[in-house]
Structure 1
């Protein structure tokens, strides 16, 4: 048994991981693939990929997705015929050591509702159910432009933010998502320094009132960190912002866009349903803390 802890995956390693995940998804009737880049982690130096080999065969993989200072999202797959042999536990132990080096103590495990093995693994580790989120998808060829009247307001402008906007963007991100300012600042800085992400900002009379982040892939994109500060909600600016972003994605030759939303966010779901987003699947989140040795 050979375990590798990696900061990022090379081309061949990504191919190996994708083949393993594909076998697991087919065997279990699931659909959730792994994100195989580290550009969205808050801490740039965090090793976020853990691979376990048995006689040169990749048998298990674990990834860390870290969006804030307090917790990390754990995802992983083990080949069906290699399960219950301690492989994932070995990867998790290595991942916990890495997280503790960065003073991260809270872990969140992600599983699809029909993933019996995923839920059982999380519960066996002492994790408890936290929330559910929907993965939504919109095929832009089906998208019809709505709410264009909000963009006709000359005082309402949407454009990509730059490094000079970091402080203002971090401030409203912190207000919208109830995060620490420093945490928001580091996240916005990582996005603006990325080659594949863009932070779009909505300004009203030079005041930044909303943001929407886009992670670009090949002909596809994902939206995250989208919101408007509370005192401007319910006035159509959020709808105007996301409509602008969707039209920009069309200009960028993107054919499909995805995003995740809490199953409890009924107002957000109304907007996404109206725009044509469809529910692809549901993700369940289970949380626990790393147990420290005495």
Structure 2
């Protein structure tokens, strides 16, 4: 039987998850919070049961800024794998979402030889794009030197100003590009935890760029997204913005910064590599058009 996820599924599915992903363990409480987070943003979660016992799980999380795109997650109890249950659950999800606002399902894999990738490719998923995850270990003595005489400064702004400005600059930077993810102001407000997360690059008090600083465990900060308006690209503004950000983060005790970039975005890849960022992993996004 395939049905909507129920609270009573938590204990069994937490145990199955921890068996499959021992390096990413959940407690019952944290697993419940994870499901609540998915449902709170209009996501969906399903359970497949045999004799009323949950043996498989899947969920779909809407991707902010990309209406119609849903990122999948899921698993099947190892004792029940290769018996058709995963295919049954995926077929059910495809049918249930047909005719809804969902237009595409997405699933990230580190490479195409994982069991998940092999399963999805056999079920009509295709390679949508690939991203490089990059990291730079930082301290004040190791920061790249950028010689710039540009009249630039970075500023934090009140949320009432920062949120619409971010959306405006983001649209100016990325509209028409494959990696465009046009956030609404409501989505930004929902994701923004502190006003200090949004940092703007100013030239003579005019905003020309931005970076979203997302704090991670272990004194790590993720830069996502980061951009400079088209008129200022190719002139050293992006490099200077990154240098200013890295200097500030190093002074705050941040030990490393991470970011993701599409493999096809060669100018950005070259910039990050020239500043010392190194690839830590690749992520291939598989997709299915509903």
Judged with a 3 Å threshold, the aligned counterparts in structure 2 of structure 1 residues 184 and 211 are, in CA distance, closer, same or farther, namely farther
Q: What is the match of residue 250 of structure 2?
A: 250
For 1:18 and 1:141, locate their aligned partners in 2 and report how far apart those are by CA, in whole Å.
37
Alignment of 1:237 onto 2:237: yes
For 1:206 and 1:127, locate their aligned partners in 2 and report how far apart those are by CA, in whole Å.
47
Q: What is the match of residue 32 of structure 1?
A: none
Report the alpha carbon displacement of residue 274 of structure 1 after superposing the two structures with TM: 2.0
Return the match for 1:47 from 43, 50, 57. Answer: 43
Alignment of 1:168 onto 2:165: yes
Judged with a 3 Å threshold, the aligned counterparts in structure 2 of structure 1 residues 218 and 148 are, in CA distance, closer, same or farther, namely same
Q: What is the match of residue 214 of structure 1?
A: 213
TM-score by length of 1: 0.73
Structure 2 residues not aligned, in runs of 5+: 25-32
Instruction: Answer whether contact 2:110 2:284 (CA < 8 A) is retained.
Output: yes
Deviations along 1:119-170, whole A, 9 cap, x unmatched?
Answer: 22222231222221111122224972234443x64x3121234321222221
Report the alpha carbon displacement of residue 172 of structure 1 after superposing the two structures with TM: 1.5
Deviations along 1:253-277, whole A, 9 cap, x unmatched?
Answer: 3333222111112221122112222
Judged with a 3 Å threshold, the aligned counterparts in structure 2 of structure 1 residues 235 and 121 are, in CA distance, closer, same or farther, namely same
TM-score by length of 2: 0.74
Deviations along 1:224-280, whole A, 9 cap, x unmatched?
Answer: 111111111011111122222223333443333222111112221122112222212
RMSD: 4.1
Structure 1 residues not aligned, in runs of 5+: 26-35
For 1:289 and 1:47, locate their aligned partners in 2 and report how far apart those are by CA, in whole Å.
17
Q: Which has the larger radius of gyration?
A: 2
1:1-294 aligned within 5 A: 5=5, 19-23=18-22, 45-47=41-43, 60=57, 62=59, 64=61, 66-67=63-64, 68-89=66-87, 92=90, 103-141=101-139, 144-150=142-148, 153=150, 155-161=151-157, 162-178=159-175, 183-192=183-192, 194-195=193-194, 198-219=197-218, 220-290=220-290
